[in-house]
Amino acid sequence: MPEQTPWRSLPTGSRVVIRRRLSPAEAAEATAAGQGAVWSDVIAVVLDVDDDGLTVRTDAPRETTARELRIDGTTIETAKRIPPRPVRRAARRTPDGGTGSDPASHPG
């Protein structure tokens, strides 16, 4: 298992996962939504590190739009570097030049 990195030493530009403690308001909202009420994990790219916390750009696989977040250092439980996001492969081409995504091209 990779060693966990203290958040203050995370290099700018690295992709990371950060576990942070939710604020009381966030915890109440999470509880109401039926989610965990103490912790939240953030997958992001580090933009800036200072003594007070981290500035990151979200980079989770299911997010369609990246957001810039400021994470207060007092809320960070742990943080570690993770590999870069895998490169998405192009759609596979069929012999007739199509992508094979046409439902009519697949007999039922």
Using the predicted structure, report yes or no on whether residue 78 has a pLDDT greater than 50.
yes
Using the predicted structure, report yes or no on whether residue 106 has a pLDDT greater than 60.
no
**C-alpha span between 17 and 68 (Å, rounded):** 14
> Could you report how far apart the first and last alpha carbons of the chain are, in Å?
45
Token pair for 97: 């030049």
Task: Provide the pLDDT for residue 107.
Answer: 56
Count CB atoms within 10 A of the CB of residue 44. 26
Task: Provide the pLDDT for residue 19.
Answer: 96
The domains found in the chain, sorted by start residue, are 7-84 (2.30.30)
At 1, the pLDDT band (50, 70, 90 cuts) reads: very low
**C-alpha span between 4 and 43 (Å, rounded):** 15
Please tell me the number of Cα atoms within 13 Å of 40 on its side-chain side: 17
Mean pLDDT of the chain: 85
